[in-house]
Amino acid sequence: MNIQTAVLPPHAEMVRAMLASDTVYEGVFFTAVKTTGIFCRPTCTARKPKPENVEFFAHADDCLSAGYRACLRCKPLDAAAIAPDWVQRLLKAVDADPELRWSDAQLLAEGIEPLKLRRWFKQHFGMTFHAWLRTRRLGMALGGIKQGTSIDHAAFDSGYESLSGFRDAFQKSFHITPGRAAHSEPLLFARLTTPLGPMIAMAERRGLVLLEFLDRPALTREVEELQNRYGYVVAPGHNAHLQQIEKELALYFAGKLSEFSVPLHLPGSEFARQVWSELRQIPYGHTSTYGSIAARLGKPGASRAVGLANGHNRLSIVVPCHRVIGADGSLTGYGGGQPRKAFLLRLENAAVQLTQPLAF
């Protein structure tokens, strides 16, 4: 059973989002073109149809039921899917032998078209496969340095023939010298796919530090603050916290998880951490207001400060700032975009309604 309600954004707003390929509406609605019989994601890069030829649906299943076929370009049925099988096989091969240098000939021998792989990595990781490999190896070197490995050995193990080349590549990737990195905390990141678009998760040994939609305008500032103010060295990789949040997010979007258990680490001011703690106390399927949170903190006049701290939350969904609405019931701002906020609230409300006993 699909637990989402069929409530759609206003028609004019969906037309605008479709024409602008607005990523904030990813997963919120689907566009179905009457003249072609094809349905797409709102961000499809194909030529935009005339608005009068389009009808909108809340779910891909609704499009299929109405007789539409999935677009071969934007693949709306794969919007919430993980990496395709051929990418998964390659990633497993990299994990099995992280020191292997993958040439185009080796990729072709595995049945992988290098240009196709380059495009996929650019779209999903913001860098080419080979750039990702280099950064990954440097991230492993960072971990070794943190464990006491000498810089010389870290450089050699990373495949660099000269120490100066290793130092230059390391500083270019992490904006810190290998020597200083020995006293910094590694912050590993992974890209996650969700029904509302791609997210990035970052975690250190103590817990999850960041979970944001990739198109969030403040993401760059947040990462820079983690690097410059809190001394993190950011590198691609995996750890138990990243694996846990990926599993828990999948259950959350399926309506099967109402409380996250992944360990968290939230760098910030004392007041901000108090606000974030209060956000986590808002029950699943319920909402609160800035004023209510300020009152619970014993600072009834601090609604504005609560709003600022709410906006600085780096852990979307897990620290549920989407559950804070205006005193008049309006959705108010949300870093991931109000359409996503409305989607999350509908998702939670629908899941709660399904668990309520039937009245006779």
The predicted-structure confidence for 54-72, as pLDDT tens digits, reads as follows: 999 987 767 877 788 889 8
Domain boundary among the residues 122, 139, 174 is at 174
**Confidence band of 91 (pLDDT split at 50, 70, 90):** confident
> Stretch 307-329: mean pLDDT, rounded?
92
Provide the pLDDT for residue 54.
95
Distances from the Cα of 164 to the Cα of 82, 152, 169, 324, angstroms = 38, 10, 9, 51
State whether 140 and 74 are in the same domain.
no
Of the candidates 44, 63, 74, 321, the residue annotated as catalytic is: 321
Stretch 266-274: mean pLDDT: 95
* pLDDT at site 309: 93
Does the structure show a pLDDT above 50 at 3? no
Is 71 in the same domain as 102? no
CATH assignment at residue 155: 1.10.10.60
Verify whether residue 321 is a known catalytic residue.
Answer: yes
pLDDT of residue 210: 96
Q: Across all residues in the chain, what is the average pLDDT?
A: 82
Average pLDDT over residues 245-257: 91
pLDDT classification of 144: cutoffs 50, 70, 90: low
> Which domain, by its residues, includes 272?
256-351
CATH number of the domain that residue 70 is part of: 3.40.10.10
Residue 212, domain member (yes or no): no
CATH of the domain at 288: 1.10.10.10
Measured in whole angstroms, the distance separating CA 19 from the mean position of its chain's CA atoms is 24
Point out the domain boundary residue: 158, 174, 190.
Answer: 174
What does the pLDDT read at residue 352? 80
Is residue 98 situated within a structural domain? yes
Same domain, 103 and 52: no
pLDDT digits (tens, 9 = 90+) for 4-17: 444 678 899 899 99
| Residue 339 included in any domain | yes
Q: Do 87 and 169 belong together in one domain?
A: yes
Asked if residue 356 is part of any domain, the answer here is no
pLDDT bucket at 313, cuts 50 / 70 / 90 = very high
Pair 270, 312 in one domain: yes
346 and 269, same structural domain?
yes
The pLDDT of residue 314 is above 50: yes
Residues 279 and 343 in one domain: yes
Per the domain annotation, does 243 fall within a domain?
no
Q: How many domains does the chain have?
A: 3
Rg of the chain in Å (alpha carbons): 23
* pLDDT over threshold 70, residue 158: no
- Residues 59, 86: one domain? no
- Examine residue 141 and state whether it is found in any structural domain, yes or no: yes
Flag whether 301 is in a domain: yes
Of 27, 44, 78, the one marking the end of a domain is 78
- What is the arithmetic mean of pLDDT over 325-342? 83
Closest CA to 247 of 315, 204, 192: 192
Does 33 reside within a domain?
yes
Compare 272 and 136 and report the one with higher pLDDT.
272
